[in-house]
Amino acid sequence: MTKIMMVDDDKLVIELLQKLLKADGFETVATNDSSKAIELAKQEKPDLLLLDLMMPQPDGFRLCRMLREEPLFTRTPIIIVTALDDSDSRAVAFGAGATDYLTKPFHPGELKDKILEALES
C-alpha cells in the first residue's frame, strides 16, 4: 500500500487529507510539527510527501530543501499543498525541490490526480 506523509500545522487540514487519502486506498502518516517531520519521514519512509508552506520553523520551503538534502528522499515526490497562490511562492517551492504544487482550496479529485501522476514519474 502506498504511504503518504502529510506535514501541515493545521490539524483540521490533516484530518481532511487523511479522510480523503484513506478513502482512495492510501496509507497515511501525519505531523503538525514541521520540526519533527524529517525524523518521522526517516522512520516511516513514505512513498510521497504533502507539505504546507506556511508553518512555524522550519517553513515548508525550508523543509522541502531539508528533505531533498537527505539521501533517502532525493527522489521521493513532494507535493506542496498551500493557500499561497502567487508565482513567487511557486517558483521558490519548485526551486526547493517540490515535484508539484496544489493550492487550497482544491477539488479532491485534483489531489488524487496529482498524487498518482507524481508516483508514476
**Phi and psi of 55, rounded to 5°?**
-135, 160
Residue entry with cell 499543498:
81
- Mean pLDDT confidence for 35-43: 97
| CATH code of the domain in which 62 resides | 3.40.50.2300
CB atoms within 10 A of CB 88: 8
Over residues 66-97, the pLDDT tens digits come to 999 999 999 999 999 999 999 999 999 999 99
Confidence of residue 121 (pLDDT cuts 50, 70, 90): confident
Q: Name beta bridge partners: 68.
A: none
What total of structural domains would you count in the chain? 1
Q: Domain range holding 24?
A: 3-108
Looking at the domain assignment, is residue 10 inside a domain?
Answer: yes
Q: Are 99 and 77 in contact (CB under 8 A)?
A: yes
Q: Give residue 102's identity as a one-letter amino acid code.
A: L
Residue 117, domain member (yes or no): no
Percentage of residues in the chain with pLDDT exceeding 70? 100
pLDDT tens digits, 2-29: 999 999 999 999 999 999 999 999 999 9
> Quick one: pLDDT at residue 9?
94
> Which of 77, 83, 88 has the alpha carbon at shortest distance from 106?
83
The reply to whether 113 falls in a domain is no
